[in-house]
Amino acid sequence: MGIPVLIIGKSGSGKSTSLRNFGEKELALINVISKPLPFRKKFESTINTDDYLTIMKKIYSTKKKSIVIDDSGYLITNQFMNNHSKVGGGNAVFNLYNDLGDKYWSLIEFVKNKLPEDKIVYFNMHEEKNDFGDIRPKTIGKLLDDKVCIEGMFTIVLRCMNDNNKHYFTTQSNGQDVAKTPLGMFEDKEIDNDLKMVDTTIREYYELNKKEKEGVKEDAKA
């Protein structure tokens, strides 16, 4: 069972910048909108695609244990923009929204049910504020939000913040956003904008490195 992690934040808040401390051979990057990274590093295992099947094949086959789907919200946006003018009105519109929700939901479920437990997949998304002031992942509107509560599918949701040029993650909700992490995973409500550190902490919390070593020993005995 793989671990999906949701990262939300405004444009420029540091979601992509948080990847900077991964080594070039440590991370598999899915670049949904083919956007250049905001730092001078090229990850060895990178693909530019917004195709769900291609993404599933990549995250399943890669030997990298840490995977980032950068700008993953554009999987929804791109599908909508490429198809909304073709479907017409009436039930066809509802069918399109159903399809948008089904595919994104299926990708998260694929991570949880088809990947080994030592693979962590980070879904980077923009955030939006609703009429009540609540902050949640940005999608394509209420029709889709009513079908899929995206943040509800994640145990770990970090919010990326930028305050006076200080970039950081929040690990718990402020009462209006959806940030959350398991009890005892992070000591502080605000942590450094460093996804490598986050990745290490998650692996230590769930003892993933220990389980991987035990698996290698069992394979050696067989």
Calculate the average pLDDT of the chain. 90
Tell me which of 3.40.50, 1.10.3470, 3.30.310, 1.20.120 is the CATH number of domain 3-221: 3.40.50
Q: Which among 3, 4, 18 is positioned nearest to 168, based on CA atoms?
A: 18
Read off the pLDDT of residues 54-92 as tens digits, 9 standing for 90 and up: 999 999 999 999 999 999 999 999 998 888 767 766 667
Task: Say how far apart CA 175 and CA 99 lie, in whole Å.
Answer: 31
Query: Can you say how many angstroms the Cα of residue 97 is from the centroid of all Cα atoms in its chain?
Result: 21
Confidence of residue 215 (pLDDT cuts 50, 70, 90): low
Supply the pTM of this predicted model. Answer: 0.91
Residue length, the chain? Answer: 222
Q: Mind listing the pLDDT tens digit for each residue in 17-49?
A: 999 999 999 999 999 999 999 999 999 999 999
Instruction: List the chain domain ranges.
Output: 3-221
Residues 133, 176 contacting (CB under 8 angstroms): yes
77 alpha-carbon distance from chain centroid: 15
pLDDT at 145 over 80: no
